[in-house]
Structure 1
Amino acid sequence: MKFVVKNSCLVQPAEATWNGVMALTEFDQIGAITHPPTLYFYRPSETWLAQEEIMFTTLRDSLSRILVHFYPLAGRLRWLDGGRLELECNGEGVALIQVESDATLDDLGDLSLSPHFHHLSPKINYKAPIEEIPLLFVQLTKFKCGGIALSHALSHAVVDGQSAFHFASEWARLARGESLGKAPFLDRKLLRAGDPPSAQPCFDNEWNEPPVLITQPGSENDEIRNKGNAVAMLKLTKKQVEMLKNEANRTKSSYIDDGDHRMFSRYESVTAHIWRCACKARGHVYEQPTGVGISVDIRKRVEPPLPQTYFGNATTSVIATDCAGDVVTKPSGYAASRIRQAINKVSSAYVHSTLDNLKNLKDFTGLQDIHAMELEASERMFVGNPNLWVSSWTTLALNGLDFGWGNEMYMSPGPHDGDGESLTLPGQDGDGSMVVALHLQAAHIEDFKKFFYQTI
C-alpha cells in the first residue's frame, strides 16, 4: 500500500499573539522532547470523497483559530546551558500534513495492532536544530474507501497528556463551529521551584537507577536492550475489571494498615495485575528486584491546587519496587499496596521538594536522555526488563473527537517501541471496560497474554 504526501503547510495563529520567552518549569525540563502521537479513525463516507479539500481547510482554519488561545504551541524550543530548555513564543506555527493512500481502512487489518501506524503518524526529523522543529504536528490521511485517520502529536517538553487532550478537545469544538469551552491556564509560575531552592531535598529520585536483571547486571547490557519487542492490545470487560478490583481489595487490610480506608482503584488493581503477569512471563527468580514507574498528576495534590486547565507538564514520577517473588506469590492486594504506597508519597511537600531538587541540578543531560531520539538503543537510559512503566489515560478526554464529521470509530495511541511501556485506556464504548496497550520483549509476550487472562 502507498502513502503519498499531497500537501503540507505551517499553520500560524489567526491573530497576533503574545511574543516572548516563556520559562519552562523543572517538570517540563525532564520530559522527553519527542512528540507522542495519538490516532483517530473515522468511518468511510462517500460524501467525504467529494469534500476532501473542505476537510483539510476546516482543520487548517480551526487550527489557526485555536492557536490564538493555545499560542505556546505555535512557538519553538531552544537550548540553554546545562541541557535546559526555554520556549520562545514567536507564532511560527504548527505543521499540518495531508496524505493520501491507495489502501482502505480494512486493508489495515486490526486497527489496534496495525503495523502501518507509522505511515499514519507525522514523520519528525529530530536531527534538525530544535529551533526549527514545530511543537505540534497534525496528519490527515485519506483512504480510497472514504475513511480517514487523523493523528496529532505534541511535544512532551511543553505539555502532558491532560494538556494535550484538552487542546484537541477545544480544537474540535472550534472546528464544529462552537465557541471555546475552557481556556488554557498558561501561567507556569504556579509550578516553580523555590527562589532560592531548598538545598536539602527530602526525597530520593529512585528512577535514576532502575533495577536491573540479576542474571545480566548493568543497565548498559546491549543483549537485553536489543531484543525485539512486540505489542499487545488487551481488552478487559467491565466485569473483568471489577473482578481484579475485588480480588485486590479482598486482602487490602493485610497490607494497608495506616488508616488509608480507600478501596484500591481500577488503576492500582489493573496495574498490580500487569506487574504480576510481567514477572511471571519474564521468568524472574524470586529475589529479582523489579519496579513499576507511575506518572502522577499533581494538579490537585499541590497547595494551592493548580487550575485543572493548567497547560504544561503537571506530573511527577514515582516507582513502586519489590522483589519479583513477593509480587507473584503474595495476593494481588500486596502488589496493589506497593503501588498505593508509591502514589501516596506525592504530597504538596514532595512536589515542591522535587522541584527544588531539579532546580539545584547543574546539568539536566545527566538526569534523563533529553537527546534520546538521536541516540542508538544501546545508549539510551533503559527502563525495560525487569521493569514496567504503566501510564493511565482512563481519566483523559480521549474519545468523542468530532471535527464536524462525527465521532471517531476508533482511537489508539501511536506507535511506541519501548520494552515495558504500557498504557491503560478506557474502553471505546464508555461502558466501564478497559484496554491495556503493552509493549514487551517478543519472547515474553505470548506468556504474558496467557497469564493476563488465565489469572483473572
Structure 2
Amino acid sequence: MEVVLINSCLVQPAEPTWNGPMPLTEFDQTGYLAHVRTMYFYRPSGNWLKQRGNIYKTVGTSLSKILVHFYPLAGRLRWLDRARLVLECNGKGVQLIEAEADADLDILGDFAPSPHFHHLTPPINYKAPIEEIPLVFVQLTYFKCGGIALTYSISDAVVDGQSALHFLTELANLARGDSLGNSPFLDRKLLRAGEPPSAQPCFEHEQFDSPPLLIGQSSCENESKKKTADAMLKLTRIQIEMLKNEANRTRPFSDSDRIFTRYEAIAAHIWRCACRARGHLYEQRTGLAVCVDIRNRVQPPLPRKYFGNAIVDVIATGCSGDLVTRPLGYAASRIREAINSVSNEFVHSNLNYLKNLEDFSGLQDIHPMNMNQGPFYGNPNLGVISWMTLPVYGLDFGWGKEIFMIPGTHACDGDSLILPGHDGDGSVFVVLCLQADRMEDFKKFFYQDIQTNKKSAP
C-alpha cells in the first residue's frame, strides 16, 4: 500500500492562550518520552464522502478550538540540566497531515497488526531538536473505498492514556458541534511538579533497578537485537471468566484479599505463557511491569480530569519455574502484591527518589525504536498495560463512530496491551510484541492453557 501526502500544516489554538514554562512532574520526565499512537478507522456515509474536503476542515477546526482548553499540547518540550524537561506553553501548534492511500480499507483485513499501519502514522523526526517536535501529530488518510483512518500520535512525556483519551473525546465533541464536556485540570503541582524533595517515608523502588537478565548473560544487548513480531489475540467473555475462576480457585491460602480482577488473571496468564514460550530455565528470574493509576491512590485524590501522567510502574517478580509449574493463582498473587504496594506514601517516596537523582537519562526512552533497550523491556521480562476501563471507543466526529480502533505497533519485545472488545460483548484483545521465533509457541500456549484449565475445573 502506498500513501501519498496531500497536505500538512500546523494547527494553533483558535484564541490566545497562556504562555510560559510549565513544570513537569518526575513521572512525566521518566520512562517512554516519544509519541504513543492510536488509529481509528471509519466508513463515513455518502454525504460526507461527496465533500471530502470538509472532513479535513472539520478535524482542523476542532483541533484549533480544543487547543484553547488543552493548550499545553500546543507547546514544546525543552531540555534543562541533568536530563530534566520543562513544557514551554507557546502555542506553536500541533501537526495535521492529510494523505491518500491507493488501496481499499479491506487491505487491512481484520485489523490485526500489519506493516500497512506504518504508512498510516505520521513520520516523526526524533533526530530534530526536541524543541522543534510537536507534541501531537494527527494524520487523516483517505482510502479508495471511501474509508478513512485517523491516527493520533501524542507525546507520552505530557499525558498518560487517560488524559490522552480525555483530549480525543473532547476533540470529537467539538467536531460534532457539541460544547466542551469536561475541562482538563492542568495544575501539576498536585504531584509536586517543580518542587524540591520533601521528608517522606522511603520504600524500595526496584522498578528503577537493573532488570533480571537471562541466566548466563551480563546484559540485554543480544536479546534486544532479535527480530520481533506483533500479534492481536482475542479472549471471549467466557474465556476471561475461565481464567478468573481458575486464578481464584487456585489462589494461595495466605491471600485472603478480594477476588482477582480480570486484569490480574489475564496478566498472570500472559506472564506464564511468555515464560513457557521463551523456554526459560526453572531458576530464571523474571519481572512483569504493571502501570498503576494513582489518581485515587494519593491523598487527597487527584481531580478526575487531572491532565498529565498519573501512573507509576511497579514490578511483579518471580521464578519462571514457579510461575509455570504452580497454578495460575500463584502468578496472579504476585501481580496483586505489586499493585497493593502502591499507596499514598509509596507514590511520594517514588517522587522523592526521582527528585534526588542526579540525572534522568538512564531512565528515559527518547525514541520508540529504542524501547527494547529501556529500563525494563525484553526477555526475560515483559509489561502488561490495561486499557480495559478506558473510553477508547465511540469517537464520533460527525460522520459516525469508528469501525475499529487499534494502538500503533512497537518493536519492543515483551510489550503488551489489553484492550476491551469493540462490540461491548465482554471480550478483550491482547496486543503483544514478542521475539519472532517465540511468537507461535506463545499463541499455542495462550489458548491451550485455557482449555487445560477448563478441563481441570471442578
TM-score by structure 1 length? 0.95
1:384 is matched with which residue?
A: 378
Give 2:207's aligned amino acid: E
2:39–2:407 CA contact under 8 A, matched in 1: yes
Q: Is residue 200–residue 345 contact of structure 2 (8 Å, CA) maintained in 1?
A: no
Q: Which residue of 2 aligns with 1:337?
A: 333
Q: Secondary structure at the match of 2:304?
A: coil
Seen in structure 2, the aligned counterparts of structure 1 residues 56 and 327 have a Cα distance that, compared at 3 Å, is same
Query: Helix, strand or coil: the match of 2:69?
Result: coil
CA drift of 1:200 comes to 6.8
Distance 1:317 1:180, change over 3 A: same
Partner of 2:433: 439
2:15 aligns to what? Answer: 15
User: Which piece of structure 1 moves more, 198-207 or 446-455?
Assistant: 198-207
1:287 to 1:360, Cα distance in 2 relative to 1, 3 A: same
Question: Does the alignment pair 1:277 with 2:263?
Answer: no
Provide, for residues 53-104 of structure 1, a one-character-per-residue CA deviation record: whole Å limited to 9, x for no partner.
1000000001100000000000000000000000010100000000001110
Instruction: Answer whether contact 1:302 1:347 (CA < 8 A) is retained.
Output: yes
1:371 partnered with 2:366 = yes
1:204 aligns with 2:205: yes
Q: What is the correspondence of 1:93-104 to structure 2 with a 5 Å cutoff?
A: 93-104=93-104
**Which of 282, 303, 326 pairs up with 1:307?**
303
Counterpart amino acid of 1:304? P
Unmatched tracts of structure 2, length 5 or more: 451-458
Q: Structure 1 residues 276, 268: closer, same or farther in 2, change over 3 A? A: same
What is the rounded CA distance, in whole Å, between the counterparts of 2:368 and 2:402 in structure 1? 30
Alpha carbons 2:235, 2:427 under 8 Å: kept:
yes
Name the amino acid aligned to 2:178: E
Shift in Å at residue 4 of structure 1?
0.5
Equivalent residue of 1:113, what SS? coil
Within 5 A, what are the aligned runs for 1:208-223?
A: 208-215=209-216, 217-222=217-222
Please tell me whether the aligned partners of residues 252 and 333 of structure 2 are also in contact (alpha carbons under 8 angstroms): no
| Correspondent of 2:414 among 415, 420, 428 | 420
Change (3 A) 1:95 1:372: closer
Say whether the 8 Å CA contact 2:45–2:399 is kept in structure 1. Answer: no
Cα pair distance change 1:378/1:11, threshold 3 Å:
closer
Please tell me the residue identity of whatever aligns with 2:366: H
Write the distance in 1 (CA, Å) between the matches of 2:31 and 2:373.
18
SS in 2 for 1:213: coil
Contact 2:66 2:170 (C-alpha < 8 Å) held by counterparts: yes
Q: What is the DSSP-based 3-state SS (H/G/I as helix, E as strand, rest coil) of the residue aligned with 2:337?
A: helix
Provide the residue aligned with 2:445 in structure 1.
451
Equivalent runs, 1:175-214 vs 2, <5 Å: 175-192=175-192, 195-198=196-199, 201-214=202-215
Cα 1:304–1:200 shift into 2, 3 Å: closer
User: Counterpart in 2 of 1:87?
Assistant: 87
Q: CA deviation at 1:254?
A: 2.0
Q: CA RMSD in A?
A: 1.6
* TM-fit CA distance, 1:251: 2.0
Match of 1:67, SS?
helix
Give, in whole Å, the separation in 2 of the partners of 1:309 and 1:44.
31
More moved, 45-54 vs 304-313: 45-54
Per-residue CA deviation, residues 6-53 of structure 1 (Å, 9 max, x unaligned), is 001000000111111100011111132211100000126443432211
CA deviations on 1:160-197 (whole Å, 9 max, x unpaired) are 00000010001000000000111100000101176443
Selected match of 2:404 from 405, 410, 419: 410
Residue aligning to 1:231 = 230
Q: CA deviation at 1:379?
A: 5.8
How is 1:54-73 mapped onto 2 (pairs within 5 angstroms)?
54-73=54-73
What letter is aligned with 1:234? L
Q: CA deviation at 1:248?
A: 0.3
**What is the CA-CA distance between 1:201 and the residue it aligns to?**
2.9
In 1: Cα distance, 2:160 partner to 2:260 partner = 25
Q: How many residues are matched?
A: 449
Answer yes or no: is the 8 Å Cα contact 1:230–1:445 preserved in 2. yes
1:126, 1:374 within 8 Å by CA — same for their partners in 2?
A: no
- Say yes or no: does 1:34 pair with 2:34: yes
Please give the alpha-carbon distance, in whole angstroms, between the structure 2 residues aligned to 1:121 and 1:20.
30
Query: Aligned with 1:292: secondary structure?
Result: strand
Distance in 2 of aligned mates of 1:76 and 1:276: 41
CA contact (8 A) 1:24 1:85 kept: yes
> What is the alpha-carbon distance in structure 2 between the residues aligned to residue 232 and residue 360 of structure 1?
40
Is 1:394–2:388 an aligned residue pair?
yes
Structure 1 residues 370, 156: CA separation in 2 closer, same or farther (over 3 Å shift)? same
Aligned counterpart, 2:247 = 248
> Partner amino acid for 2:286?
T
Are the structure 2 counterparts of residues 122 and 107 from structure 1 closer, same or farther at C-alpha, using a change threshold of 3 Å? same
1:193-244 residue CA offsets vs partner (Å, 9 max, x unmatched): 76443387322333431111104x122432x221111111000010000110
Pick closer, same or farther for the CA change 1:188–1:282 going to 2, 3 Å.
Answer: same
How many angstroms apart in 2 are the aligned matches of 1:309 and 1:218? 43
Distance 2:373 2:292 in 1: 27
